[in-house]
Amino acid sequence: MRKSILIALLLAVTAFIGVAFSFASLGNVQIGYEIVVPTSQICNLVDREYYYSIMEDIRSANSSIMVAMYSMVYDPDDSFDWANDLIRELVYARERGVNVTVILEYRTYYGEYMDRNLDAYNYLSANGVNVLLDNDTETDHMKLVIIDDYIVYVGSHNWSESGLYYNKETSIRIVSPEIAKEFKEYFQTIRKS
C-alpha cells in the first residue's frame, strides 16, 4: 500500500515539473522504471514579460543571436523606449564576441516600404552587426529570435515601443536545440532569398 502511494505521489510531483516516468513490468512484478525528461521547455510570455525575458537571454548569449523581425523601430531620441534597449543590447552582444545576424522587413507584398526599420538598420550596421533588409516582395511578418542554437522566441511582439510596452501581445520562449535547429534552417532560407 505504501509503495503505491509513494508511486502516485512521485507521479503527481513529476507531472507537475514536467518529468515522465515509464514503468516496465513483467506480469504483476515491477522490474524497473525509466525517467524521461522532456527536451524542450515552453513558456508563454504576455505583454511586458517578453521584454524582461528576452533581455536576460540576449545579455547571457554566448555564441549567436539571430533575429528576423517585421518591425524594429529605433528611436535614439527617446530615453524610455524598450525597443531601443533591445536593439542596443544586440550591439553590446556583438561587442563581446557574439555572432549577431538581423533580418528586417523592408518591402512588403503590397509594394510598400518599411522605412521605419531603416533607423534600426543604420544603427546596427554602423555598429558592426550583420543586418539585412529583406527587399523581397514576400512579406516577412515574423517576430523570431534564436539565441545560442537552443532558445527560440516566436510570437506577436514587434521590437517597437508599442509592441513591447503598450500593446497586448503574446509570444512563447522555447528551450530546445531541436526546435531551434528547425527555426534556424528556416531563418537561413529567408537570408538567402
- For each of the chain's 193 residues, which pLDDT tens digit applies? 444 443 443 343 344 444 444 444 444 444 444 444 455 699 999 999 999 999 999 999 999 999 999 999 999 998 899 999 999 999 999 999 999 999 999 876 555 667 889 999 999 999 999 999 987 777 778 899 999 999 999 999 999 999 999 999 999 999 999 999 999 999 998 877 6
DSSP notation for 6-33: HHHHHHHHHHHHT-EEEEEEETTEEEEE
Ordered by where they begin, the domains of the chain are: 2-36 (no CATH), 41-192 (3.30.870.10)
Q: State the pLDDT at residue 15.
A: 42
At residue 134, the pLDDT reads: 84
Q: Which three cell numbers stand for residue 97?
A: 564576441
Backbone angles phi, psi at 136, to 5 degrees: -70, 150
pLDDT of amino acid 109: 56
pLDDT of residue 137: 72
Contact 110, 100 (CB under 8 A): no
Give the number of other CB atoms < 10 A from CB of residue 61.
Answer: 21
Q: Can you tell me whether residue 115 is helix, strand or coil? A: helix
3-state secondary structure of 66: strand
Measure the CA–CA gap between 85 and 89, rounded to whole angstroms: 6
- What's the confidence (pLDDT) of residue 138? 76
Alpha carbon of residue 86 to chain centroid: 13
DSSP class of residue 40 equals -
Would you say the pTM of this structure is higher than 0.85? no
Please check whether residue 51 is in contact with residue 82, taking contact to mean a CB–CB distance below 8 angstroms. Answer: yes
The answer to whether the Cα torsion of 35, 40, 44, 47 is positive or negative is: positive
**DSSP character for 62?**
S
- pLDDT at residue number 39: 57
pLDDT given at position 31: 45
Q: Which secondary structure element, helix H or strand E, spans residue 42, and what is its range? A: strand 41-46
The confidence score (pLDDT) of residue 111 equals 56
